[in-house]
Amino acid sequence: MPLFETTELAGESFPRPFAGLDEAGRGCLAGPVVAAAVILPSTYDLPGLTDSKKLTAKHRFELEPLIKAQAVAWGVGVLWPREIDRTDILRASLKAMCLAVDSMKSAPVFLVVDGNQRVPSSIPQVTVVKGDSKVPEISAASILAKTLRDRIMIKLDRKYPGYGFAGHKGYGSQAHMDAIVLLGPCRMHRLTFRGVKPERPSKEQSLCLPGI
């Protein structure tokens, strides 16, 4: 049985079929931002379904195939660092959500988006802050986005050794920051992000540099 009512939130009803949207990797220094969209049936059996961040990796990977098997429809969207750097992470995240919706085998009539930013879509929608803990469709989307992104980062760890992508998944851990200093950024790093892009010296520092 579902843990919460799938059609109402704070007294508001969502037209069916509606898709929950969420993303993973927005705050990372490396790797893609991955989004997912999920339409759930009126009844389902997904034990412990909630925000992916509240679940262990083992539980997320156990729920992933169950969500895909029981969902009316689901889709994913992936945007890579070069496009993130060309625009910004917010627009890239919203575009990835649109790609996720476009890849669904059945189109939703309504979107319920995690956060407070609407996606650039003509489909009617509503945003829900902390929706990944409130709306099961968003919870399911958060799990699909997170598990796919983790799998991508494990593969990138083999392609770009030395950065530890399989462990920190691209987030700004101390080990990751140390690797960037030692090796420099690779093609999977977001070059416009603080912690990756070189810091400009202050005016005082510039005056102390040799030859200046």
Predicted confidence (pLDDT) per residue in 37-60, tens digit: 999 999 999 999 999 999 999 999
The pLDDT of 76-94, averaged and rounded, is 97
Distance of alpha carbon 27 from its chain centroid, rounded? 9
**Spatial contact of 27 and 169, defined as CB atoms under 8 Å apart:** no
pLDDT at position 156: 98
User: Model pTM greater than 0.75?
Assistant: yes
For the domain bounded by 8-152, which CATH number is listed? 3.30.420.10
What is the model's pLDDT at position 197? 82
Tens of pLDDT, residue by residue over 179-188, are 999 999 999 9
Q: pLDDT for 105-158, tens place per residue?
A: 999 999 999 999 999 999 999 999 999 999 999 999 999 999 999 999 999 999
Cis peptide before 17 (omega within 30 of 0): yes
Least Cα distance to 143 among 62, 40, 32 occurs for 62
Q: At what angle do helices 136-159 and 57-70 cross, to 10 degrees?
A: 120
pLDDT digits (tens, 9 = 90+) for 5-40: 344 564 567 999 999 999 999 999 999 999 999 999
List the Cα angle 21/25/29 in 5-degree steps. 155
